[in-house]
Structure 1
């Protein structure tokens, strides 16, 4: 069982290992089954299991840094267990004692959770059509189709967000990967985050027992950090991308870039314009990393004393982190080419994967709305709305 220091150390080592093959996996879209197994065997996927169930129960600040370190190595692989951690958190808050004992035991035994939450073609991201309907002989039948199901292809259990009854309240149906009627399709073809396998999950008459259903709608009937926790992990992915882009830009500039003649230097890295550009990018990345760390601490503070105000302040801190990490990851991964020169644009180098990953992942939730929430609070003291995206 990993403590905080060990978790950071393990994540650092695995992140470096993931970086070695990241460009090749992206270019050839090699799904990282072995690498996901490595994450599982390392113990990192169990670090948020509550102490009363035999887990390390590590705080959000540690989990966030683990995600950032993994994402600096390969953000596609880092994104795969995102929903695993989110649904471990959901069980903590809404699972019955029996459900918690069973599923936390599964996590400690090395089982992985995926996700089947978002739907394609609905009016907006929080509209769902997937439904649990009563089965004639007891239990429920689950029918629907999900998209962007990151982690499902590698999961043992897939939490499915669905109405309990036609147009009923939202619940989570916990479905085994091998359940009859469930089909997982590897049809994700995004320009970035190419190896997350964020494809389609089809559900046709999947049987679900009452013991495998947890309420989702109740999560937002009072103060909560469920949304802030999920969002801060997304921010950590983007911070990792920003740091990786800056590090690879520096490695390229100091070893392969040629100086511009007007600079009058022998080494491109000694061009004062290049040095200044790297200083600006370093400031930008350090700033987003600092906001990320503070956001994670704000979530921990809210968890220790959960009120409307503490939850609201956590959401604001996370909104600031998401806005900052979005900007840093997209801008630094683009500016990489400005400082590295023409040769860096060669397709075979795959340096553009950093921008593709940043641009794809930052579309997950609009950063502009994070800024809106911050601005409204600055003007009128209004906290963000109480839902899972802030």
Structure 2
């Protein structure tokens, strides 16, 4: 565990990263994903936090690919961002999940920050700075219940509260905190520096999967916040929006990456380590017709999930081009289909990995169960059954999904 006052992950000084074009972002992500895969099993088994890996992400320029062009960024499409996340998650889904909130809050700035706030924070991102998150609260009755508050204090604001599931906060330069402005006032985002006085980040995440995301606790006690470091959040869902769909499709991309990684590792194991079943009458397990058929089913499931994720990214881009209730609803439905599909694919493939690979694949030292643990943990962000419900309502009577951030 890493607590304030104890040795924390130390990042190297960061040079300004390059601005990646569309034809460079995906190859860079795939290259990093391949390298991430080499150490993923060890990092998971020994819970080694990916400090160096995140520094490489910052240096690569990938974390700045959605900064608007008018502020010096590449302003790449959602379709491209989705493939970047999928490629990183295929390498290590814990590393891919850490910048999820970074991208979500870069997106939030686009819609509800002032020009000067955009100038400052987009500039920070272009310099390689990372955003974390302090959004959810443990112990509340509803996922949207927020107790954290900003209150006026000596001409400024004082921020107090406690947050859980704060993925990325431990490694962040800035932590966006979801809070009320005043007691029971409208929701805003308070942007606080990771090492500001009164900010305590505790690495107390002990999930069975996604072990190295450091999705722990952030405590805020009398943190001074300047007016220019506060952006509105309550306006997000008052009109048609793709903010929620964008956040959701990145989750789907992570699950698709997990599914593909599990399938790739299962195939490698069967080719090199599995013994054929005697009744198959073959020399290699990889030639067993039942094994081949199972791999065909898994490949079909993963390809379908990947296709739905890509289409969801394109649907968001289409909605952003002409944003209406109908186009935003269509994007949300596309994302719902992707999330339902990737949830099933990641959990199923990571489980059937053992079915096709045989007894030896269950040895703890191989850590092949990390794929299932990662899938089962990450897919709990939102119930897939509700995605199917919204798709069903649309199929039956054309009802668009609700205009909130969970779909």
Give the TM-score band, short-chain normalised: over 0.9
Equivalent residue, structure 2, for 1:148: 165
Q: Does 2:400 align with 1:386?
A: no
Could you tell me which of 286, 306, 310 is aligned with 1:293? 310
Distance 2:399 2:157 in 1: 41
Alpha-carbon separation, structure 2, partners of 1:191 and 1:226 = 29
Q: Residue 347 in 1 paired to residue 364 in 2?
A: yes
Q: Is 1:324 aligned with 2:341? A: yes
Aligned equivalent of 1:232:
249
Aligned to 1:122: 140
Shift of 1:161: 0.1
Deviation at 1:389, TM superposition (A): 1.1
Counterpart in the other structure of 2:38: 20
**Is 1:94 aligned with 2:112?**
yes
Residue 2 (1) aligns with residue 20 (2): yes
Deviation at 1:291, TM superposition (A): 0.4
**Number of residues paired by the alignment?**
389
Q: Which residue of 1 aligns with 2:9?
A: none
The answer to whether 1:185 aligns with 2:210 is no
Counterparts of 2:404 and 2:196, CA distance in 1: 30
1:5, distance to aligned residue in structure 2 (A): 1.3
Equivalent of 1:217, from 209, 227, 234?
234
Normalised by the length of structure 1, the TM-score is 0.99
Which SS does the other structure have where 1:217 is aligned?
coil
Measure, in 2, the Cα distance between the counterparts of 1:190 and 1:383.
Answer: 34
State how far apart, in whole Å, the 2-side matches of 1:204 and 1:368 are.
Answer: 38
The separation in 2 between residues aligned to 1:380 and 1:99, in whole angstroms, is: 43
Shift of residue 168 of structure 1? 0.7
For residues 151-175 of structure 1, what are the alpha-carbon distances to aligned partners after superposition, in whole Å with 9 as ceiling and x for unaligned?
A: 0000000000000110111000000
**CA distance in structure 2 between the aligned counterparts of 1:5 and 1:337, rounded to whole angstroms:** 37
1:195 aligns with 2:176: no
Cα distance in structure 1, aligned partners of 2:197 and 2:174: 13
Q: Report how far residue 380 of structure 1 moved.
A: 1.6
Rounded Cα–Cα distance in structure 2 between residues aligned with 1:15 and 1:242: 14
Which runs of no fewer than 5 residues in structure 1 stay unpaired? none
2:99 matched residue in structure 1: 81
RMSD across aligned positions (CA): 0.4
Return the TM-score normalized by structure 2: 0.95
Offset, 1:370: 0.5
Return the offset for 1:139: 1.1
The answer on 1:171 being equivalent to 2:204 is no
Query: Does 2:176 align with 1:162?
Result: no
Identify which of 258, 265, 272 aligns with 1:255: 272
What is the Cα deviation at residue 290 of structure 1? 0.4
C-alpha distance in 2 between matches for 1:144 and 1:2: 37
Residue 292 of structure 1: SS of its match in structure 2?
Answer: helix
Q: 1:40 aligned to 2:55?
A: no
Which whole-Å CA distance do the structure 2 matches of 1:105 and 1:318 have between them?
30
Please give the per-residue CA displacement for 1:215-274, whole angstroms capped at 9, x wherever unaligned.
001010000000000000000000000000000000000000000111111100100000
Aligned partners of 1:17 and 1:245: how far apart in 2?
16
Pair 1:29 & 2:47 matched? yes
Q: Distance in 2 between matches of 1:172 and 1:365?
A: 22
Q: Distance in 2 between matches of 1:41 and 1:179?
A: 24
| Structure 2: distance between partners of 1:229 and 1:70 | 17
Mapped to 2, the partners of 1:300 and 1:273 lie a distance apart of 41
Distance 2:142 2:31 in 1: 39
Shift of 1:301: 0.2
